[in-house]
Structure 1
Amino acid sequence: MNAYLQIHQDDNVLVALQDLPVGTDISFNGHNIQLQQNISAKHKFLINDIQEGDPITMYGVLVGKASKNIGKGETITTENVIHDANAFHEKDASLEWQAPDVSKWADRTFMGYQRADGQVGTRNYWLVIPLVFCENRNVSVIKTAFEKGLGFSPAEVYNEQVADLVALYKNGDLEAIQNYEAGALTETNKRNIVFPNIDGIKFLTHEGGCGGTRQDSDALCALLAGYIHHSNVAGATILSLGCQHAQVSILQESLKKLNPAFNKPVLVYEQQKSASEFAMLSAAIKDTFLALVEANKLNRQPSPLSKLVIGLECGGSDGFSGISANPAVGHTSDLLVALGGTSILSEFPELCGVEQELINRCQTEETSDKFIRIMRAYENQAQSVGSGFYMNPSPGNIKDGLITDAIKSAGAAKKGGTSPVTDVLDYTEYVTKPGLNLLCTPGNDVESTSAEVGSGANVVLFTTGLGTPTGNPIAPVVKLATNTKLATRMKDIIDINTGTIISGEQSIAGMGEEILEYVIKTASGEVHTKAEQLNQDDFIPWKRGVSL
């Protein structure tokens, strides 16, 4: 295993691939470097002496500038480097892409749920959705009834643990409580035997629909419409209070915009028009059960890989993200695009500094101009409330080597591979073009993942260096660790370890191919991700202008 890495030949920093003690002598490309302090793995140190105001370059792009003089062999930190990034402008070059060889997947298929509109799902879910937070409790009532009645409930291990503790307490055995160890959590949440072709009923509670701006409620309806229209969804039950901003008519208009011939079953119940709450809930439960009977008639069928739509996401990123997991996922994206499939790269604050590369990868000027317009509007809106993209890195990011937004962005963009950008989508717009799509979302991983799925992703590839349990209600989220320590420590939430790239055991291309094979198995229902096993159903609509 190498001790350090220069990511791009133009970089003036090296990345420590392992902990390096102070005084270590490094010979690199004619440079003799003696480390001036202990360098933790994932952090960066200077190849040359630089002066205050000089640029810091990583991934071949500007990622910051020195806020004071820094000597070679010194670590770059928030104390001596501040954010800086290259400006961007209109498209000034075109991409000539060399697609990877995908001949061995040319005749491959996955087992998917084929919808009437031509989409193919990787799962078959029914949704129960409140149009306003006032209906969250009623949704919870329906959730309890169906989960207990149909066996869709999460694993019972925690309920059993509480029951055991109660029994011990009643017996007065406090010592036994202190020494109590729960049984292992296993995949017992797939116990449904009534409707074997339905993967679950999902409940998308939220805190929106009224009380905010009309823009927020309109965006919420558009996002919910994307979930109902989604390839992984058979239909939906909608609960409305009646007087809220997020009206049923707005949701219906959003559905027609996605598909003028939309014909999935959508059951709507408005409490203010109902005889009673009991009458509304009883009708909703009965009608939903009958709809499940119909949804259960759909079987998985062999489907072309071109029907896969993968979301490209990261959360809890670290200094290895842009070296291992992200470029590996990027290669998977390139493979799928070459096969006629679709990928979605989001998190616009984490594309800061690499905008020009993405602009030049856009297939048309119309697409590149839209990307420029959205990026500038987003940054201006953030600045108008006293923030900016430069504030995006979290304390965990910084601790593990991502000290500026441009460093984080240059690594995050690697998830998008090298293929042309076929389309740019604003928040809640749905994918219609195969290839790499750029989707405007915040960098917040749950808001972004929620948006990617709402725009059509039927599998999400989620890279993490620090560890996060993020999942989604209707799309399987494959969690990829950037380093082996994380994969070992948090194996209950990690699906794939890409740390073997750091150790030199695996190539980026080889890992990208392994990920594609895992995606095919996941899409076919042969594999359920750790997030699915844990019922990690994260769903947060974006209140635009608030989140980075």
Structure 2
Amino acid sequence: MSKESLQIHPNDNVLVALRDLDAGSTLTFGESQITLKDHIAAKHKLSLQDLEPGDEIIMYGITVGKALENIEAGSALTIDNIAHKTTAFGEKSADLDWIKPDISRFKDKTFMGYHRNDGRVGTRNYWVVIPLVFCENRNVGVIKEAFLEELGFAKTNPYKNLVREMADLYKNGNQSAIENLASGPSDSSASSKIFDNIDGIKFLTHQLGCGGTRQDSEALCALLAGYIANPNVAGATILSLGCQNAEAETLFEKLNQFSPNHGKPTLLFVQQNEGTEAQMLTKAIKSTFLELTKVNEQKRKPASLNHLVMGLECGGSDGFSGISANPAVGYASDLLVTLGGSTVLSEFPELCGVEQELINRCVDDEKAEKFAHLMESYNSRAEAVGSGFDMNPSPGNIKDGLITDAIKSAGAAKKGGTSPVQDVLDYGEFVKNPGLTLLCTPGNDVESTTAMAGAGCNVILFTTGLGTPTGNPVSPVIKISSNTKLATKMPDIIDIDSGGIISGEKSIQDVGEEILEYVIQVASGETLTKAQQLEQDDFIPWKRGVSL
């Protein structure tokens, strides 16, 4: 890898700047000398050859854009001189010849997990409290306030002391001293836990369940059923008003479909049947507490790595994501698939342009056709409201080098490694096959991670180049930075730094193995992810309208 630039694929007609490059300087590429016409910021792209309007931009070996004007070799590619373009996709046209990675380092390793009745194994032991409709959010909050502190799951707010000091200064007439106050947040701590073998009680609130489309309510029931079926969940308390579209019968039907032999306690309380709010809450709290005493008897036991179901996510991506963090996660995915485990690649708007490659990786025509149909129908819905996949890159993405959706997608898809696609799922379906699965979700970080946990992922890998605190209530989220600058700047949210790939100090394989080793530690409960330490429990169901 050059210290100045990188050609990702031998067919590419662009280079990625690995550091800031000055206009007028000379860049050596192979036997050629390229004089830079513009300043090229690190993570951005420059043309390897003269381009005319309509010429294709090739990156990662595929079409990721087209020239809008004449572009001289050595010029920066920008949102002004290139536009999004992809090649058409169709039926499965080739079979994958996959070379499996060396798994000798991991083949005899295990993790310590919670074994469930249906054969799945959890990396955590959570109880969840779930409302079927937004009308019950307040009651969920009341139960949360009653349980967390008394059972030792609540951490003190680390900023309370800071506010107290400012309030004292104000009351004493020292308002001018507030700006110079040196105190920061104090260490947060939880009171002593009552239940040693329960990792937490998670309270999921949302704004759905009634008033929207019936499809949204059905999708919500499937998602919530997936959370209960997730092996990280030991049982659930479910609150229902009683008259909403999201019916308990639908939830239980989906739960039994996902996991017929789950054997988990599921406590349902319907407010319109129970009488007063106080009667319902008292009954719910008593019943839940008694079930918690039983769940606390469960203990971690050794489990083979094939019981891991690993989500593959990215958010706040930058121009380095596709050449460092994402391919490293892809290698970790390939390792786990070879070990018999499961991985899940989602964010369909960020697979735009790599459809044919993924179609050809599908194990049969049925899976390939399902993926193509989901991509086409999703993009059509987006275009119908004037927001196609080409509008996916955020301002932050563009600023840091991802200037077309196809460039972003080609790099994002690297999280899926190189293994065959064993299954394709729509939103609200549950992982059932080992190997790599494609799951239809938005590119929105939280909506996607929410869906992956609902599909059964018991751990999630999350790459980022710009930084994001995203976490999940039931599935530990491990953050991998694409660059060392981010890991140094935001150490409170980054678990693993893949910047060594950019500097040349580490290989993709090195970091991929490091990631899987860390996954085993997290899965065994030996390590809390940074998102868990921050109690970053993000939960946003996807309304099946358009969300990118």
The reply to whether TM is greater than 0.5 is: yes
Note if contact 1:378-1:545 (Cα within 8 Å) is conserved in structure 2.
Answer: no
Query: For residues 168 and 242 of structure 1, what CA distance do their matches in structure 2 show?
Result: 50
* Counterparts of 1:185 and 1:539, CA distance in 2: 27
SS of residue paired to 1:149: coil
> Does structure 2 retain, via aligned residues, the 8 Å contact 1:154–1:535?
no
TM-score, normalised on structure 2?
Answer: 0.98
**Which shows bigger deviation, 170-179 or 431-440?**
170-179
Match in the other structure for 1:213? 213
Contact map agreement 1:313 1:346 (CA 8 A) in 2: yes
Q: Deviations over 1:67-120 (max 9, x none)?
A: 111111110111000100011111111111111111221111000011111010
Distance 2:286 2:169 in 1: 40
CA separation of 1:182 and 1:234: change in aligned 2, threshold 3 A: farther
Q: CA deviation at 1:429?
A: 0.7
User: Which residue number in structure 2 is paired with residue 471 of structure 1?
Assistant: 471
Runs (5+) with no aligned partner, structure 1: none
Residue aligned with 1:220, SS: helix
Shift of 1:154: 3.0
Distance (Å, rounded) in 2 between the aligned partners of 1:542 and 1:195: 33
**Within 2, Cα distance between the matches of 1:182 and 1:252?**
50
SS of the aligned residue for 1:150 comes to coil
Match of 1:52 in 2: 53
CA distance in 1, matches of 2:186, 2:361: 45
Change beyond 3 A, Cα 1:430–1:186: farther
8 Å Cα contact 1:446-1:539 kept in structure 2: yes
Match runs of 1:226-375 below 5 Å: 226-375=226-375
CA distance in 2, matches of 1:2, 1:257: 53
The one-letter code matched in structure 2 to 1:99 is: K
472-481 or 31-40, which deviates more: 31-40
Q: What do the CA deviations read for 1:120-176 (whole angstroms, capped 9, x no partner)?
A: 000000001111111111111111111111121134312233233333333333234
**What is the letter of the counterpart of residue 375 of structure 1?**
M
Q: What RMSD in Å do the two structures reach over aligned CA positions?
A: 1.2
Measured after TM superposition, the shift of residue 511 of structure 1 is 0.5
The CA distance in 2 between the partners of 1:236 and 1:399, in whole Å, is 43
The aligned counterpart of 2:140 is: 139
Aligned-partner Cα distance in 2 for 1:467–1:16: 20
- The alignment status of 1:399 with 2:399, answered yes or no, reads yes
- Is 2:122 aligned against 1:121? yes
Residues 150, 368 of structure 1: alpha-carbon distance in 2 compared, 3 angstrom cutoff: same
Matches of 1:256 and 1:406 in 2, distance apart?
Answer: 39
Counting aligned pairs with the same residue, the percent is 63
Whole-angstrom CA distance in 2 between matches of 1:166 and 1:126: 38
The CA deviation at 1:183 is 4.1
Tell whether the 8 Å contact from 2:46 to 2:77 is kept in structure 1 after alignment. yes
Superposed CA offset, 1:484-539 (max 9, x none): 11111111111111111101110000000000000000000110001000000000
Letter of the 2:337 partner, please give it.
V
Shift of the 454–136 alpha-carbon distance from structure 1 to 2, 3 Å rule, reads same
DSSP 3-state at the match of 2:472:
coil
Q: CA separation in 2, counterparts of 1:187 and 1:494?
A: 19
The AA in structure 1 aligned to 2:164 is A
User: Which whole-Å CA distance do the structure 2 matches of 1:186 and 1:19 have between them?
Assistant: 39
CA distance in 2, matches of 1:206, 1:436: 29
Aligned to 1:157: 158
**Cα distance in 2, alignment partners of residues 102 and 145 from structure 1:** 47
CA–CA separation in structure 2 for the residues paired with 1:52 and 1:175:
60
Q: In structure 1, how many angstroms separate the alpha carbons of the residues matched to 2:332 and 2:367?
A: 23
Write the distance in 1 (CA, Å) between the matches of 2:188 and 2:495.
14
Q: Which residue of 2 aligns with 1:61?
A: 62
Q: C-alpha displacement at 1:192, in angstroms? A: 4.5
Query: What is the distance in 2 between the residues matched to 1:358 and 1:263?
Result: 36
* CA–CA distance in structure 2, aligned partners of residues 89 and 22 of structure 1: 42
SS in 2 for 1:319: coil
**Aligned-partner SS, 1:410:** helix
Say if 1:231 and 1:458, in contact at 8 Å, map to a contact too: yes
2:267 alignment partner, SS class: strand
The secondary structure found in structure 2 opposite 1:460 is strand
Letter in 2 for 1:373: H
Inter-partner Cα distance in structure 2 for 1:15 and 1:406: 15
Contact 1:154 1:534 in 2 (8 A): no
Unaligned runs of 5+ in 2: none
Alpha carbons of structure 1 residues 106 and 180: separation in structure 2 relative to 1, 3 Å: same
Which residue identity lines up with residue 320 of structure 2 in the other structure? F
Contact 2:64–2:84 (CA under 8 A) maintained in structure 1: yes
Q: CA deviation at 1:261?
A: 3.2
Q: Are the equivalent residues in 2 in contact too, given 1:155–1:185 (CA < 8 A)?
A: no
CA-CA distance at 1:187 after TM superposition: 6.3
Question: Which digits, 9 at most, give the CA deviation of each residue in 1:427-468, with x for residues without a partner?
Answer: 011111000000000100100010011101111000000110
Relative to structure 1, the CA distance from residue 310 to residue 186 in structure 2 (aligned partners, 3 Å threshold; closer, same or farther) is farther
d(CA) in 2 for partners of 1:349 and 1:187? 39
Q: Secondary structure at the match of 1:438?
A: strand
TM-score (norm 1): 0.98
**Aligned residue number for residue 181 of structure 1:** 182
**1-structure distance, mates of 2:489, 2:343:** 30
On the 8 A contact 1:321/1:482 being kept in 2, the answer is: yes
Relative distance call for 1:192 and 1:368 in structure 2 (3 A) is farther
Task: Return closer, same or farther for 1:132/1:222 CA change in 2, 3 Å cut-off.
Answer: same
Deviation at 1:423, TM superposition (A): 0.5
User: Given that residues 31 and 47 in structure 1 are in contact (C-alpha distance below 8 angstroms), is that contact kept between their aligned partners in structure 2?
Assistant: no
Q: What is the identity, as a one-letter code, of the residue corresponding to 2:11?
A: D
CA distance in 1, matches of 2:90, 2:179: 63
Q: Partners in 2 of 1:463 and 1:154 — Cα distance?
A: 27
Pair 1:441-2:436 in alignment:
no
> Aligned letter for 1:356?
Q
- Would you say 1:194 and 2:206 are equivalent positions? no
Structure 2: distance between partners of 1:478 and 1:15: 27
Report the CA distance between 1:258 and its aligned residue: 1.2
CA distance in 1, matches of 2:228, 2:19: 46
Distance apart, 1:414 and its partner CA? 0.2
Q: Distance in 2 between matches of 1:441 and 1:182?
A: 42
